[in-house]
Chain A
């Protein structure tokens, strides 16, 4: 069985590795290794690539990430109850493919308890960020009779799980490391056969129970899983990752043949830990999401959905993509089509994907590499966050050559096998899942559409007008207090005075007679931007009685360039005028982070006013309130 089948085939990887050996610069060799690691490779080639990168990794880990631009360093300790030396090259090479340089500390064979329970100066000095506990079913098997009761079996399982939890706690307490626990691969043949699971004390029943309890405990304790038992059972390691000859010969649980796949699986988890998982699935349309070419065959002529096996296969791939979207993977479309024709296909009654599932939709006749760049820009994510799925081998080849950062899986001939292939590649490995992940797609979609609209707009005013922005202004009350206070304390850049207040202080300020305390929200046709600005203004002893002092004005950088500050000024001026003031006094207090708003007040038409405290670096600005003031923006203002 071919492993790493999603990686492209190199015409002569062995020769390329030999050639790369002639590079004298360790960094050049590291970059070349990372490039070649993206090709399908067997364990010998993986071993050779690992040697090639060795000095580069040492440099990265030893001298810091600034020495190897674009790469992240990660120190991983491997504590195992079986031989894993032969697996380390696969881990390092697969990590390099993900721009992660892993340095591995290998504890002495079988000494995982000692490493965590005792003082291990070498491990301490290594300071692991991640600790893999690679255990197996042959290690510490519970010893009791086969006819043990269910309760005895359960007690044995719990005792073992408690021991593991103790080790996990130690790993965290001593090294502050993220633990990855490997599940136990069944190693013994069936004893009863199908009846095994009905005998509580049978090796298979015990092991399944133990693995399930390990998974439950890991969920509770914030431990990640290398779920080798699941991968093996799912056939990812063909007819067996464990070869009994290798076990008897060298206590290898995983046969060297499978080292590239094992390393890839672990490297995905490690990459996820350092935030290097992919984020976005970019889909071609014709013959990828449906059978046929919509421009030629028309929407009604497409193979999609019930009624034909081919149509059902395309539907199944769409359903898989839709499920990925629901777990937080961003979806995008990159297709050679006319935009209207491509979008119209989403009206096909059998489509599992809706137009609204697609965060960035690019259909034109330009080359796909340029369009993938556009998609990354629209979504404001890196090219190295993209996975591009296209049935056309020529397109895949061009994108790989033009944009090596984009992952482009090799695909099987039959679309029925697409979901399994994309899943097997493990692009979107996670370390957490929350309700926010499900909502994320909507946020990206809205931002992507704003960016796309900006790209299409011929003039800025037209773009801003087209956004159909509405600002909701509301005096700060109980409902807004928590969010407003949060924004006051976290906003650094667009913050004129950088005064930090507690909820109680904000409430006091808002309740001061003559004060104006505003929370401003902004929505547009793409969605709700949420609370985007807080303005706190109050009478002050340094000002005249008819002047309102702007104590605090901050805005979220999300809405920069949208003229929201003009609209906010209009709201403030209206409130101040209503309260009987005839001028606003603004203050800019420079901080290390707020240089971007140094010209905020003059740009809004404020005039410099002398600061009575001559020693202060702060500048004061005066804005006369009169009915003839005009405000330059395209935002509809609503007062709640």
Chain B
């Protein structure tokens, strides 16, 4: 019995040091980070100097170049989280769970920023910080789902039960968001509709600036994804090592 314990301890420790050695970030993350930096640094002057001022909304419309990409990435992160959660339940490989949790953490930040930038814009254009519009309500509910996901994950620790619970929340959530959107849409609607891709709706400089910003934030997401995935991995290994030490004592 004691021998068996010693052996498992050794195995876990060896695995831990191996992981620590492998834990260095791949070069691709540096490249992604650099590209994200360049794209966002290009998008900022483009949004303020290159893109024309909106005739109706005035300079307040410029927040759109950050609000729309951040919102898109925040929602995309939820889809990634749900997809990786399904893969986790299917394949039973904890790497999928690390990816899901990493995506949830980034998505929470992005949706929080979406709500803040949207409120600032709403204040100047609608004259109110908040309205119960479908897009706003769906974003807010998405934000609540992200927060409750992270709360459950942090309450339950790094166990497989926690990973299962998180995966179920993500899957239920990804089915619920479109229904919530539809329900609030039937209830009331006010948010401006998407005009990208509608021919002649947006001037080309506006579309170009938006695309650069979108690319920048997408790159930022993939950069952060790699960082946080690595972070999740290290935390899991660190906790396992700590558990073996506590067991020996």
Do A and B form a real pair?
no
**Interface positions of A (Cβ within 8 A of B):** none
